[in-house]
Amino acid sequence: MLNKRITLFLGHYGSGKTNVAVNYAINLKKQVKAVSIYDLDIVNPYFRTVDAVNILKDNGVELVVSPYAETNVDIPAMNSKSYQMVDDLNRYAVVDIGGDDRGALALGRFSDKIKLENNYEMLLVVNKYRPETRDLDGILNVKDEIERTARINFTGVVNNSNLGNDTTANTIFDSFSFINEVSKKTGLPIKFTAVRKDLTEKVKEKENKILPIELIKYGDWL
């Protein structure tokens, strides 16, 4: 597990960053006293952290989301408690942020304080098997757009290459050369590979830096 107080997860729509962020927060809570997960993904119509509200509560992780997150009102609003992320230095923050430069706008208002504290990881979540990020040009474009808008630079890459429930160990093995190339082109180290829990022992035969995850959908484990 990474040891920075703030961990920011960003990536293109469908990269699985929300699922990674939720699992990361739950794993982090086993090691530290206070963890909050902040949903700044105010433009994404797909899976959001609020869908995992019961799982997070059961694991002692505070969820901070838009006040409209559980309503039919689709307004890009941010919870005022989100400022706790940069103001409460005794609480670890895991942050799920929108999937492109528009989503990164929400992060921009916090970037100065994040950089001043200098105790953060900003991670680019990559799923090789998604159409928008299956080539290096697509990933580099997403990276540059986000950094320019958020006014903060990435510090690492997360390999979340998967095919959902159809993922096998070979699915993950087949992504390694591509993710290594992403790391080389961006100059960013690979921080870890997200691996479904039932596949972790097999994947450990070739990769040690692993975050075991469970797939989450609409308030429960799949």
Position 118, amino acid: N
Q: Are 20 and 35 in contact (CB under 8 A)?
A: no
Question: What's the start-to-end Cα distance of the chain, in Å?
Answer: 24
The structure tokens listed for 10 are 């960003």
Q: Are 55 and 219 in contact (CB under 8 A)?
A: yes
Quote the pLDDT of residue 70: 46
| CA angle at 33 for the pair 28 and 34, rounded to the nearest 5° | 80
Q: Is 132 within a domain? A: yes
Mean of the pLDDT values across residues 137-163?
93
Mean of the pLDDT values across residues 24-32?
96
Q: Is the pLDDT of residue 43 over 60?
A: no
Residue 64's H or E segment, with its range, is strand 62-64
User: Which of the four pLDDT bands, split at 50, 70 and 90, describes residue 73?
Assistant: very low
> What is the share, in percent, of the chain residues with pLDDT greater than 70?
84
Q: Is 1 within a domain? A: no
DSSP 208: -
CATH number of the structural domain spanning residue 41: 3.40.50.300
Q: Is 175 within a domain? A: yes
Position 110, amino acid: F
The structural domain count of the chain equals 1
Quote the pLDDT of residue 204: 96
Mean of the pLDDT values across residues 199-207?
96
The structure tokens listed for 88 are 């409460």
Max Cα–Cα distance, the chain, nearest Å: 47
Of 145 and 116, more confident: 116
Instruction: Supply the range of the domain harboring residue 49.
Output: 6-221
Among 178, 106, 173, 103, residue whose Cα is nearest residue 138: 178
Beta-carbon contacts of 103 under 8 Å, excluding residues fewer than 6 positions away, are 10, 40, 41, 42, 43, 44, 97, 146
pTM for the structure as a whole: 0.89
User: Which of the four pLDDT bands, split at 50, 70 and 90, describes residue 132?
Assistant: confident
Distance, CA of 222 to CA of 220 (rounded, Å): 6
The structure tokens listed for 198 are 């039932």
Q: Is the pLDDT of residue 221 over 50?
A: no
Q: Is 128 within a domain? A: yes
Q: Is 159 within a domain? A: yes
Quote the pLDDT of residue 67: 55
Using the structure block, give the residue that is written with the tokens 């694991």.
Answer: 59
Q: Is the pLDDT of residue 211 over 70?
A: yes
**Model confidence pLDDT, tens digit, residues 161-194:** 999 899 999 999 999 999 999 999 999 999 999 9
Q: Is 25 within a domain? A: yes
**Model confidence pLDDT, tens digit, residues 85-122:** 999 999 999 999 876 666 688 888 899 999 999 999 99
Q: Is the pLDDT of residue 200 over 60?
A: yes
Quote the pLDDT of residue 38: 93
User: Which of the four pLDDT bands, split at 50, 70 and 90, describes residue 142?
Assistant: confident
